[in-house]
């Protein structure tokens, strides 16, 4: 069980949103705002595409905000 847990922790480190955002240039983390994420152009575009996709799916299944 310990080996499984340690493996899970290693996998979680590899998927850390702070690392991925910095590597792929999606976001920055503010030093003055206690690590608050700031979206840069790529991150903002990705977020907008995801939001539009989710709105489309919601309407398709009968949910109207």
Judged against a pLDDT cut of 70, whether residue 18 lies above it is answered with: no
Judged against a pLDDT cut of 90, whether residue 3 lies above it is answered with: yes
pTM above 0.75, yes or no: no
Q: Identify the residue with better confidence: 15 or 6.
A: 6
pLDDT at 4: 94
pLDDT digit string (tens) for 20-64?
A: 666 666 666 666 666 666 777 777 888 899 999 999 999 999 987
Q: What are the residue ranges spanned by the domains of the chain? A: 2-60
> DSSP of 3-65, one letter per residue?
HHHHHHHHHHHHT-HHHHHHHTTSEEE-TTTTS-EEE-HHHHHHHHHHHHHHHHHHHHTT---
């Amino acid at each position: 069980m310990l080996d499984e847990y340690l493996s899970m922790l290693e996998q979680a480190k590899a998927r850390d949103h702070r690392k991925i955002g910095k590597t792929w240039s999606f976001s920055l983390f503010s030093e003055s705002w206690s690590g608050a994420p700031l979206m840069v152009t790529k991150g903002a575009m990705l977020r907008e595409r995801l939001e539009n996709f989710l709105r489309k799916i919601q309407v398709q299944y009968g949910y109207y905000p």
